Structure 1
Amino acid sequence: MDRKKLILMVASAGTFVEALDIAIVNLSIPSIQEQFGIGTETVQWLQTLYVLFFGGFLIIGGKLSDQIGRRRIFLLGSLIFMLTSLGAGLSTGFEMLAIFRALQGLGAAFIMPSAMSIVTNTFMDDQERNRAVGIFSSFAAIGSGSGLSLGGIISTYLSWHWVFLINVPVLAVTLILAYYYLPKDEISVKSQKTDLVSGILLVLGLLSLTYGAHELIHIKENTAIVVSSFIATVILLSLLFYRLKSVSQPLIDLSLMKNRPLKLSGLSFVALGAFFIGFLFLISLMLQKDMNHSAASAGLMLVPFSIMSALVAKFVLPHISKRLDSAQMAIFGWSFMLAGALLLLTSVYIGHPLPLVLLGAACISGIGMTFCFTAQSVLGVQDIQPSDYGIASSVGSTSYFLGAGIGLSFMTLISRIFPSEWAVGNLSLFILIGYAMIALVMLCYFIFKNIKIGESEVAVS
């Protein structure tokens, strides 16, 4: 196999596993509750802690991959993820499981930006990079989409322990291949300094924000805690902003945030995280609660869309990327996301016909996510220097998981305020449609501004 292709496969395997674990726990929750005798409010922390640590440490993971080395951070993140997956799978108490689940998020936060940086530094030609990022992103999309499938099947026919243990052999092989085949880091560690204070402020600020968003649904019972969480977020992030402007080697170069494509990519990833993680949550409820399918049956129904995502990435995406730029391709992907949400909404009104529900899922998980994730990843690094690829890619990933946490909390809050006869009411799907519309408006405005800027430059010349 060509060395570049092998590097791409190794990096993609790492991001597949971390994306898989976002969704794989969902259909195993009843089994975990039964074994430990805990309620829904308690077991939800398995997902929350993973997202908190993942989103909170992503920027640090990206910065360290730029400073210490992409290969070193990828190996470290993969090792952490493998060992914590083993610990989670062997856990005998819920507290132990929750700790290992949080540390899985830490490992994932090191894997994601370093893997993306490895890909963007290995494939430098624009068309070659688009295709490589497309394959890489499809593994993330496949991992997210297939998490529900595998989680339902494993929890039904094996046990919830294997939801975590399945990661161990995959990551063991990935570590061996990464050690021997990933390019060596050419970075002088002595000449680099890591702004740890800014890193701590960032992590605490994001953790506080995500915790507040998660607990927003309980604001009546815990008003002081929720409000304090948001106040702490403002204070911590204000201190972070002040420090980033004042230190000589900041964690994040604020001049990067002036890059319009990077800003658009980050905002679009917020919408994508809110939409896709919300979709994974809703499709699980719709198939099991509203349509009375078992966890295994629901999982098997979603398997074809993971395969579809891989096929789209390999055979369709390269042709589309030759004809559309990254912003246009993102609009193309979001159009499928919007169409899928509209199909799911229609199904609520006409009795949940299975073909219509699965067609909506195919538009979102099988097609739309692949194009959106790829296009927005490429958009975020298109005007960035190679030395900043790690931090740039981590901005997108952080935005994605912050969007996931805040968006899902908002959707849950609204569904509690306005309950429905169905587990998945029409209001939740209207919220998904809203996320898609916001992303489409931002992308269209970006393209319009670029056209106006181009016309101005032509007029001046």
Structure 2
Amino acid sequence: MAVVQFMVSVDLSVVNLGLPQIAVGLGFTGAGLTWVIHAYALTFGGLLLLGGKIADRYGHKRILLLGLILFGLASLAGGFSQEASHLVAARALQGIGAAALSPAALALLAVTFPSGKERVRAYGIWSAMNAAGGALGVLIGGVLTEYASWRWVMFVSVPMAAIALALAWRGVADAPPLAPSGRPDVLGGILATAGMTLLVFGVVRTDQYAWTSATTLLTLAGAVILLAAFVYVERTTTRDPLIRLGLLANRSVSGANAYNLLLGGAMAASFYFASLYLQRILGYSPTVAGLELLPFALGVGVGAVFTIKLGNRVERRTLLIVGGLMTAIGFAWFGFISADGSYLTDILGPSIVTSLGFGLCLGPVVSAATVGVAPHETGAASGLLASSRQIGASLGLAALGTAAAERTAGRLTPVGLTDGYALGMTLGAALLIGAVVIAFIVLPRGATEPVEQGTRDLVTEAD
């Protein structure tokens, strides 16, 4: 499961340092280039709930294997793209594959390690691999872009998917489906994905149409209508709903997902702005830029180790508050980048602070979102958590990227571009402060591992 998560995380960040070359190679516009990221994040995030429900219905291992196959084939197709639309379509297919395999993998983890020290250790390892994949993806993308071709940022996922497929085939035990009856709510999955896509589309296009323009207002209104229809379908469907709305009555589940939404939005934007700043402003090559972002992975790993050590003695809520504050401080530091800055003060210093805080957050937020959930709903709860992260990433990148573009306002000089990147990072700090407030107000107190009694109480509350 750690290898699977590493692969998914790598694919979220591996394209970042290849974006300038991808834009030239396939003729992307400035705004259109962000859809290389959005196409993956939106299909991944929008279909995760459906993926989790299908995994509960048809078996976690079976859906995991099918998702890996689709993911590998989509990566291969993306590498052979000849037009911008081809790459965006391939990234969307990758997102569909990831939406199937990711909740299945996390559900297997939750079922295998339901509580106790082993749960803390398992989620710590999972969190470290998740973070390492995201950070190493930047390095891998830089090396491949510089010494091979941007196409290899897509091809590299093919052997990883094959290795993960072989490991899962041999290493994951077969088990009967946890929710063998009922038909998954496909309509709900379509409505959720369409609504989120339209919402992000409306936000991204504010660089062309003002927020108060008829085009933007109609697009956002359409998104709201689709998302409202999704909620209505979930409440009234005769099929097995994607997410039982009563599950959100569990304060731990709802608080963790709200926290995760804001965390995902800030972190996606940080990699995007940092990679562009290193290459366009400081003038580093893709490989060097990737190496210079590597300390971020190390910091996240250290933070994850602290989580493992402290998980039995410190409340998840406390870890999330402390981790969120540290990450916000790192983002605020990023907000002081300048056109004549240096790597040590403008990137390395804030990266260390941000990554340590991020590492403290990852394990506790995953544990909080799945503890107390009935076994037959682990796939749905896992899908909800992963969905909140990816939807947050897409919305955060859209909103912060648009704000950065407005601050730049056509000033494509080092000073103008840096002003935009700095504003994006500062707004990321604001998102993390919001996450800390949610952890303080919403998450229940006293939740540490082991949590056997707490789990029983939360199941009762959720039911």
State the TM-score, normalizing by the size of structure 2.
0.88
Q: Tell me the amino acid that sits aligned with residue 368 of structure 1.
A: G
1:438 match: 434
Relative to structure 1, the CA distance from residue 97 to residue 429 in structure 2 (aligned partners, 3 Å threshold; closer, same or farther) is: closer
Equivalent of 2:189 in 171, 181, 199? 199
Q: Residue 347 of structure 1 contacts residue 353 of structure 1 at CA under 8 Å; is this kept in 2?
A: no
Which stretch has the larger CA shift, 395-404 or 338-347?
A: 338-347
Which stretch has the larger CA shift, 201-210 or 261-270?
A: 201-210
The Cα shift of 1:442 comes to 1.5
Q: Residue 303 of structure 2 contacts residue 357 of structure 2 at CA under 8 Å; is this kept in 1?
A: no
Q: Is 2:220 the partner of 1:238?
A: no
Equivalent of 1:101 in 65, 82, 91? 91
Q: Tell me the amino acid that sits aligned with residue 173 of structure 1.
A: I
Q: Residue 290 of structure 1 contacts residue 422 of structure 1 at CA under 8 Å; is this kept in 2?
A: no
The Cα shift of 1:80 comes to 0.6
1:152 match: 142
Q: What 5-or-longer segments of structure 1 have no aligned partner?
A: 1-10, 455-461
Percent identity over paired residues: 28
Equivalent of 2:241 in 234, 242, 250? 250
The Cα shift of 1:77 comes to 1.0
The Cα shift of 1:267 comes to 0.7
Q: What 5-or-longer segments of structure 2 have no aligned partner?
A: 448-453, 455-463
The Cα shift of 1:291 comes to 2.0
Q: Residue 210 of structure 1 contacts residue 402 of structure 1 at CA under 8 Å; is this kept in 2?
A: no
2:365 match: 376
3-state SS, counterpart of residue 311 of structure 2: helix
Equivalent of 2:418 in 421, 424, 430? 424
Within 5 A, what are the aligned runs for 1:50-449?
50-187=40-177, 191-220=181-210, 223-248=213-238, 249-313=240-304, 315-348=305-338, 351-352=341-342, 354-355=344-345, 357-365=347-355, 367-419=356-408, 421-425=415-419, 426-446=422-442
The Cα shift of 1:448 comes to 7.8
Relative to structure 1, the CA distance from residue 255 to residue 279 in structure 2 (aligned partners, 3 Å threshold; closer, same or farther) is: same
3-state SS, counterpart of residue 383 of structure 1: coil
The Cα shift of 1:224 comes to 4.2
Relative to structure 1, the CA distance from residue 414 to residue 190 in structure 2 (aligned partners, 3 Å threshold; closer, same or farther) is: closer
The Cα shift of 1:417 comes to 3.0
Separation (CA, whole Å) in 2 of partners of 1:368 and 1:77: 31
- Residues 339-389 of structure 1: CA distance to partner in whole angstroms, max 9, x if unpaired? 212332345499445245202112223x22222121111111122112111
- Residues 257-313 of structure 1: CA distance to partner in whole angstroms, max 9, x if unpaired? 111111111110111111101111121122222322222211111223324433543
The Cα shift of 1:449 comes to 7.1
What is the root-mean-square deviation of aligned Cα atoms in Å?
A: 2.4
- Residues 36-68 of structure 1: CA distance to partner in whole angstroms, max 9, x if unpaired? 344323333211211121111111111111111
Q: Residue 281 of structure 2 contacts residue 418 of structure 2 at CA under 8 Å; is this kept in 1?
A: yes
Relative to structure 1, the CA distance from residue 251 to residue 229 in structure 2 (aligned partners, 3 Å threshold; closer, same or farther) is: same
- Residues 190-222 of structure 1: CA distance to partner in whole angstroms, max 9, x if unpaired? 633212222222222222222223223322399
3-state SS, counterpart of residue 184 of structure 2: coil
Relative to structure 1, the CA distance from residue 35 to residue 412 in structure 2 (aligned partners, 3 Å threshold; closer, same or farther) is: closer
2:451 match: none
Separation (CA, whole Å) in 2 of partners of 1:231 and 1:188: 38
State the TM-score, normalizing by the size of structure 1.
0.89
3-state SS, counterpart of residue 423 of structure 1: helix
Q: Residue 40 of structure 2 contacts residue 92 of structure 2 at CA under 8 Å; is this kept in 1?
A: yes
Q: Is 2:17 the partner of 1:21?
A: no
Separation (CA, whole Å) in 1 of partners of 2:106 and 2:209: 38
The Cα shift of 1:159 comes to 0.7
2:461 match: none
Q: Which has the higher helix share?
A: 1
Q: Residue 56 of structure 2 contacts residue 178 of structure 2 at CA under 8 Å; is this kept in 1?
A: no
Relative to structure 1, the CA distance from residue 408 to residue 252 in structure 2 (aligned partners, 3 Å threshold; closer, same or farther) is: same
Separation (CA, whole Å) in 2 of partners of 1:217 and 1:94: 20
